[in-house]
Amino acid sequence: MEGLDKDQMLKMYHEMVLIRRFEETCKELYHQGKIGGAYLHLYSGQEATGVGALTAIRETDHVITAYRDHGIALLRGLDPGAVMAEMFGKRTGVSGGKGGSMHLADPTKRFWGGYGIVGGHLPIATGIALKVKYMHEDDIVLSFIGDGATNNGYFHEALNLSEVLEVPIVWLIENNLYGMGTRIELASGQPELVKRAIAYGMKEGPRVDGMDVMAVYNAVQEAAEYARKHGPVLLESLTYRFDGHGMSDKMYDKRTDELKEWHAHDPITRLRDLLCKQYPDIGPTLEATEQAVEKTVTDAVTFADESAIPTYDDLLSNIYV
């Protein structure tokens, strides 16, 4: 396909399967009480958006997202064990057990998190892009945005400022149709979210099928090149969340039919079918991938399980530099 060879497609398949298994495992562990807390937001169903987008940018580009961040963290190469340990609230977690599921990050990998306040990360993205421009660097920032977040003041101010400052940034809306239980039509006067680019005189990217990893890849690659040269772009990926908003979601129980429809577009199945069609003898490789993922996830859980819990000293450390 468009500029992607077999290995790259296999890599994407591997990543999507890893995210899915990781999330399914988190869910089980939450219900077993191994993972605690009020918040656990899973990425299942939306893998194609994260995988397609991150495959399309450079490793040196910056990435930021909201609290639905497990998948993005894994894609940025954060160690699955350390990510799982964060869910467990262990010392070995990527945030030392202090940030939890919503606050995963690794600046050395240019992944800036992981934010729980809806919209709060958007001006941060603008600021990181401002640094890139200020330092005459040639990176871009890729910022994910939830559909619900587009109705918050942060969205408006952050996007307008990015356009005014002409900073290199790709704003990628992950439109999964819901903000918690509220459907997009009830929350946004303009349900075609990508049109909001007009309000900022911003380059309006396409609205892509977010269940098709190739479509996302191509759109983000184009947008990234544009952003590197000219400034902000707004993209929209139409996707769907296979799980509830968090671990309890009244609406989730109500949308079984809708779920069925969307499962028919499962981005993983779609990529799998595509691979099998293009490479008829690829079956064993895919199974090997799936087994490898199993092991990665099991090892991650074991690591998290066996890791130590934070101490009183940890409680008091890193409040100030």
Partner 1 sequence: MADKKISMREALRAALHEEMVRDDRVFVMGEEVGRWDGTHKVTRGFFEEFGERRVIDTPISEMAIAGSAVGAAMAGLRPVAELMTINFAFLALDAIVNHAAMQHYMFNGKMTVPVVFRAASGWGNQATASHSHTPEPIFAHFPGFYVACPSNAYDAKGMLKAAIRDENPVLFTESIALYPKPGSVPDDPDFLLPIGKSDYKRRGNDVTIVAYARGVDWALEAAGMLEKEGIQAEIVDLRWLRPLDLDLVFESFKKTNRCVIVEESLPHFNVGSEIAAQIQEHLFDYMDAPIKRVSALDVPLPFAKEIELMALPDAHKVVAAVKEVLK
Ligand X SMILES: Cc1ncc(C[n+]2csc(CCOP(=O)(O)OP(=O)(O)O)c2C)c(N)n1
Q: Which residue in 11, 58, 160, 226 binds partner 1 (CB under 8 A)? A: 160
Nearer to partner 1 (CB atom), residue 53 or residue 130: 130
Q: Which residue in 25, 126, 152, 176 binds Mg ion (CB under 5 A)? A: 176
Q: What is the DSSP letter of 308?
A: P
Nearer to partner 1 (CB atom), residue 56 or residue 122: 122
Residue 196 interacting with a copy of itself (CB under 8 A)? yes
Q: Which two tokens stand for residue 175?
A: 């439109």
Helices marked H in 135-266: 153-165, 184-187, 213-229, 250-254, 256-263
Residue 154 interacting with a copy of itself (CB under 8 A)? yes
Q: What is the DSSP letter of 94?
A: T
| 279-298 residues near partner 1, rule: CB under 8 A | none
Q: Which residue in 52, 80, 148, 168 binds ligand X (CB under 6 A)? A: 148
Helix (H, G, I), strand (E, B) or coil at 260: helix
Q: Give residue 4's identity as a one-letter amino acid code.
A: L
- List Cα–Cα distances, 230 to 55, 170, 219, 221, in angstroms: 21, 11, 16, 14
Residue 124 interacting with ligand X (CB under 6 A)? no
- List Cα–Cα distances, 94 to 24, 113, 119, 253, 294, in angstroms: 20, 11, 22, 33, 21
Residue 229 interacting with a copy of itself (CB under 8 A)? no
Residue 68 interacting with ligand X (CB under 6 A)? yes
Residue 239 interacting with a copy of itself (CB under 8 A)? no
Nearer to ligand X (CB atom), residue 116 or residue 127: 116
Q: Which residue in 62, 245, 255, 272 binds ligand X (CB under 6 A)? A: 245
